[in-house]
Amino acid sequence: MALRPFKTRFAPSPTGLLHLGNIRTALFNYLLARQADGTFLLRLEDTDAMRGHEKFARALEEDLRWLGLSWNEGPEAGGGHAPYAQSERGHIYKEYFAALESKGLAYPCFCSEHELAVARKTALAAGRPPRYSGKCRALARAEAEARFARGEPATLRFRVDDGRTVEFDDKVRERQTFATSDIGDFVIRRSDGTPAFFFCNAIDDAVMGVTLVVRGEDHLTNTPRQILLLQALGLPVPEYAHIALVVGADGAPLSKRTGSRSVQELREAGYLPVAINNYLARVGHTYDSNALMSLQALAENFGLSRLGRAPARYDETQLIHWQHEALLHLSSAEIWNWMEAKVDALVPSDKRPAFMDAVRANVTFPADALHWAQIVFTDALTVSHPARESINAAGEEFFDIARRALEKHGADFKAVSDMLRHQLSVSGKALFQPLRAALTGELDGPEMAKLLPLIGVERARNRFLSLSEDLKPK
RNA sequence: GCUCCCAUCGUCUAGUGGCCUAGGACGCUGGCCUCUCACGCCGGUAACAGGGGUUCGAAUCCCCUUGGGAGCGCCA
């Protein structure tokens, strides 16, 4: 085979939102292409018009771009193999159907769906693999044409002869051997004339010059069929790498039940792309370094040989770890940008740097930032149960003195707490906890010395005042 | 049911016959720092699924069992 430029691809079907498993496959393909300075191709597998929706295609492209997984061939990016949506490539598949038929490698099958379903069921019940019987294999050409003429629907089946083996070297799983007798004749064109997924997928990979297909392990047993198809057509066969699937915390396939979320949901929750990429690149794959890496570094150090072969579990606590790491690397401007408009509206522009400085170590998601912004810059205060207990334990006098300290020293937290310490002879927890509780409604959070000036004397004073009122014996 | 794949701390993993009294990361946890939480630093907890072989020697090789995953469609 002539040396062809390195090309990987991601070929999702736009029938729903992208989830972590999909994205991981996309990431690996992207990383490999980038590492080899090759091409990362995006193709939309929308063969089934009923389920493939334009809006999902757009969402998927947006997700990919957001993660930084830009494709250099495909929709919008262009390239020499357009169109990149299978729904628009019918004429290409048609040619290959014809080629196969003329070589006698494919034949029409008039078996009804119902008939096949029954056969499958009985085979299963009898402990046999549910393969196609080959009933229409030997149909005379004349008979087939007569039935066509009568308007009988037929699928087109690819002929797979028994007694051969198909072998290939999987880049992750190494040598794979399959017996053709385990495969059986399979449908490549549905009775409504649309091409089957298997078929388009293989043809497009070959025709588009894909040299390495990295996909989920669920496609492993599809591979020999596709190889047979490509060989029959004299098309180049790409190399394959089948990666283990990601499963949920319970070891079962990933689902919403097990906490898996769509990329869109993760984005909305405020996860950073670099966090997601670093996490995903380490699920079932390992790097020497535990540091946060850019896509470039992730690509440079990626290796199919460093991939595990067992299904890996999705673990959100590790995703959150990478989110923390990612946050640490952001500049103030970037953090500010990351926090949402809601936060923006609450924080006076001259207080932004101080607010960011005070709060950033305590923030994992924009929602956390919003929470602190509300505490600091709005009058309303929700007091948590433990904070309330701490306040009650401190008592009325505590907050009277706190108020006076504030009036005397202003928003100087150290001076305020010192005054309380001396006048009430309290220190440590008994001193600081009620102060924090009264001022923020929480028992933990950013440094008070930083928060108090932001809250301001007026608002702080009101909080102390209203507590003194509440706690006054009736 | 049949075929294929897989199996190291709770999780992601390092480990390819002696360097393993099994290493790292996340989590959890003790300490320091400290008003708290977080950050940071220093510790700790915790695994070779089970059973047979092979070998001077096995996490590493073989077999069986168990467990998990995938496929067997006119789904993608």
The pLDDT, as a whole number, for residue A164 is 87
Q: Specify the long-range contacts of residues A246-250, CB closer than 8 Å, at least 24 apart.
A: A246/A20, A246/A21, A246/A24, A246/A283, A246/A284, A246/A311, A246/A312, A246/A313, A246/A314, A247/A311, A247/A312, A247/A313, A247/A314, A248/A313, A248/A314, A249/A313, A249/A314, A249/A315
The pLDDT, as a whole number, for residue A474 is 62
Residues 25-54 of A with CB under 7 A from strand B: 45-48, 51
pLDDT at A257 over 70: no
pLDDT at A1 over 50: no
Q: Average per-residue pLDDT in chain A?
A: 89
Q: How far is the CA of A448 from the C1' of B40 (A)?
A: 19
- Whole-model pTM: value is 0.92
Residues 122-161 of A with CB under 7 A from strand B: 124, 127-132, 153, 155
The pLDDT, as a whole number, for residue A314 is 92
Q: List, in sequence order, every residue forming a beta bridge with A156; answer none if it has no partner.
A: A108, A189
Q: Can you tell me the ipTM of this complex?
A: 0.92
Cα dihedral value A209, A212, A213, A217, nearest 10: 160
Strand B: which positions are within 7 A of a protein CB?
Answer: 1-8, 10-14, 16, 24-27, 35-40, 68-76
Q: Determine whether the distance from the CB of A191 to the nearest atom of strand B is below 7 Å.
A: yes
pLDDT at A50 over 70: no
Residue nearest to nucleotide B34 (CA to C1'): A447
Q: How far is the CA of A430 from the C1' of B43 (A)?
A: 29
Residues 6+ away with beta carbon under 8 Å from A98:
none
Give the highest mean pLDDT range of A39-43, A215-219, A242-246, A376-380: A39-43
CA angle centred on A239, ends A235 and A242, rounded to 5°? 130
What is the distance between the alpha carbons of residues A244 and A242, in angstroms, rounded to a whole number?
7
Residues 303-342 of A with CB under 7 A from strand B: 305-306, 308-313, 315, 317-318, 320-321, 324, 328
Check: CB of residue A99 under 8 Å from CB of residue A106.
Answer: no
The pLDDT, as a whole number, for residue A279 is 95
Nucleotide nearest A191, CA–C1', reads B74
pLDDT at A259 over 90: no
Sole residue written with tokens 């380490």: A282
Please, which pLDDT band fits residue A251 given cuts at 50, 70 and 90?
Answer: confident
Q: How far is the CA of A357 from the C1' of B6 (A)?
A: 48
Of the candidates A259, A382, A403, the residue with the CA atom closest to the CA atom of residue A317:
A259
What is the distance between the alpha carbons of residues A23 and A102, in angstroms, rounded to a whole number?
40
Helices A90-102 and A197-207, axial angle in degrees (round to 10): 100
Please, which pLDDT band fits residue A174 given cuts at 50, 70 and 90?
Answer: confident
Nucleotide nearest A12, CA–C1', reads B76
Residue A229 CA neighbour count, 13 Å, CB half? 30
Nucleotide nearest A120, CA–C1', reads B73
Q: Determine whether the distance from the CB of A355 to the nearest atom of strand B is below 7 Å.
A: no
